[in-house]
């Protein structure tokens, strides 16, 4: 389920939340008919309601990783951290954590909120390719919603469409690129 990554005290709430997220992710993937083990996980993301929580998490993440990006996306700061030791989650080794500051939207839960999957290929067909991975039953289940977007940092050069699939608590997102590739594209 999860790794023995040592969480500093600033991340104690996230350390506790990881088991909940792991179980919720496994259950949600099963509802979608999605085989997580066959997919390339890029990063895991957290959500919080207060700037003070984001600042505390930033301090903790800086102890177990290195910040490699800070950007304003959709009007709020988002910081990316490369972990010194990957986080084992549901068969994956995830080494990037996305930490957005609170925005307009209030999430039901503070803690781990989504995982992002890389689907290599033409960015224009991302949605179709992602939907093809889901069971037919997933498309008609109550409480599951789909959202497409194209979040973009100021200097990003790679098109970065997103398909998000959520049950309102746990979200799985699909992108054509790894975040590290997106950040590298900003440098030119």
The domains of the chain are located at 9-186
Cα distance between residue 68 and residue 184, in whole Å: 10
**Res 25: pLDDT:** 97
**Res 2: pLDDT:** 44
> Which of 13-17, 155-159, 170-174 is predicted with the least confidence, judged by mean pLDDT?
155-159
> Which of 5-19, 60-74, 119-133, 173-187 is predicted with the least confidence, judged by mean pLDDT?
173-187
Q: What is the dihedral of CA 116, 27, 12, 110, to 10 degrees?
A: 70
Better-predicted residue by pLDDT, 6 or 112: 112
The class that CATH gives domain 9-186 is alpha beta
- Which two structure tokens, joined as six digits, stand for 102? 């609170």
pTM to 2 decimals? 0.91
**Res 179: pLDDT:** 87
> Which of 40-44, 81-85, 149-153 is predicted with the least confidence, judged by mean pLDDT?
149-153
Kindly tell me if the per-residue pLDDT of 120 is higher than 90: yes
Cα distance between residue 58 and residue 52, in whole Å: 10
**Res 74: pLDDT:** 79
If you average pLDDT over residues 37-49, what whole number do you get? 94
Cα distance between residue 77 and residue 66, in whole Å: 16
**Res 1: pLDDT:** 41
């Amino acid at each position: 389920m999860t790794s023995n990554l040592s969480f500093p005290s600033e991340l104690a709430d996230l350390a506790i939340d990881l088991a909940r997220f792991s179980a919720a992710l496994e259950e949600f993937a099963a509802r979608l008919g999605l085989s997580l083990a066959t997919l390339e996980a890029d990063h895991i993301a957290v959500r919080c309601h207060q700037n003070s929580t984001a600042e505390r998490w930033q301090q903790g993440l800086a102890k177990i990783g290195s910040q490699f990006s800070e950007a304003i996306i959709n009007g709020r700061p988002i910081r990316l951290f490369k972990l010194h030791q990957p986080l084992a989650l549901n068969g994956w080794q995830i080494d990037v954590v996305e930490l957005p500051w609170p925005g307009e939207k209030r999430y039901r839960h503070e803690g781990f909120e989504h995982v992002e999957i890389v689907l290599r290929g033409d960015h224009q067909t991302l949605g179709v390719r992602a939907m093809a991975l889901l069971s037919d039953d997933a498309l008609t289940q109550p409480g599951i919603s789909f959202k497409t977007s194209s979040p973009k940092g100021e200097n990003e050069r790679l098109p970065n469409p997103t398909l998000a699939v959520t049950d309102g608590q746990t979200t799985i997102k699909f992108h054509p690129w790894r975040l590290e590739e997106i950040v590298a594209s900003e440098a030119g």
